[in-house]
Amino acid sequence: MNMESREVIMADKNEYNRVLDKFYEYLCGILKIYQNAVPILKDELDAIMKDEVERLDESLKSQQALLLQTKNFDRQVADYLDALGIKAKNLSDMAGQLPKEEGLRFFGLLGEFDLTMAEVNYYKDKCRMLLQSKLYTIDKVLSRQELPKDNTTYNRSAAEIHGTLFPKAFEKKI
């Protein structure tokens, strides 16, 4: 192998490692976003339990701001995989195609993702169930309340009739 082709291979390897490191950093950033969502979800759950609507609103806005940062996740991952020349259906497949040391680094990160997402999903489910329960309770209370019934009777000219239970328009002679 001549010196020139060795330099090309080393340049390609350095570029590959640079892209791989940027991809890892990107995934770490996404993980951090979801880790930051956990305390916000805990706050949401507490706000729901205490019926603090303003605090709940702030919590939801914070979650939305965090999750907007992940809106292009699929596209970003696809771009990184393309740059690395890897064809994979998911990140686990991708990590399995990397050299052993790099694969272990990515599998470790994916393990953290699993733990964090389990916690995020737990709190999201708790919030959803508690909200549904509260909405059900509100619905039950509203359905039990009797609405005032309109007992006003009107004649043919749409004038209100006072004093008689039924207007003459409904009388039938036998």
* pLDDT band at residue 126 under the 50/70/90 scheme: very high
Whole-model pTM?
0.71
Distance CA 173, CA 141 (A): 45
Instruction: Please list, residue by residue across 59-89, b when 16 or more beta carbons sit within 10 angstroms of its beta carbon and e when fewer do.
Output: beebbeeeeeeeeeeeeebeebbeebebeee
Enumerate residues 6+ apart whose C-beta is below 8 A from 135.
none
Residue 152 pLDDT > 80: no
Answer yes or no: are the C-beta atoms of 63 and 37 closer than 8 Å. Answer: yes
Q: Which pLDDT belongs to residue 129?
A: 93
Q: Which pLDDT belongs to residue 125?
A: 94
Instruction: Please list, residue by residue across 128-154, b when 16 or more beta carbons sit within 10 angstroms of its beta carbon and e when fewer do.
Output: eeeeeeeeeeeeeeeeeeeeeeeeeee
Q: Which pLDDT belongs to residue 109?
A: 94
Q: Which of 61, 62, 34 is nearest to 122 (CA)?
A: 34
Write the pLDDT tens digit of every residue in 7-54: 444 557 888 889 999 999 999 999 999 999 999 999 999 998 998 889
Q: Which pLDDT belongs to residue 3?
A: 40
Overall average pLDDT of the 130-147 stretch: 81
Q: Between these two residues, 39 and 159, which has the higher pLDDT value?
A: 39
Q: Between these two residues, 13 and 91, which has the higher pLDDT value?
A: 91
SS3 state of residue 101: helix
Residue 86 pLDDT > 70: yes
Answer yes or no: are the C-beta atoms of 30 and 116 closer than 8 Å. Answer: no
* pLDDT band at residue 158 under the 50/70/90 scheme: low
Distance CA 160, CA 165 (A): 12
Enumerate residues 6+ apart whose C-beta is below 8 A from 159.
none
Q: Between these two residues, 23 and 141, which has the higher pLDDT value?
A: 23
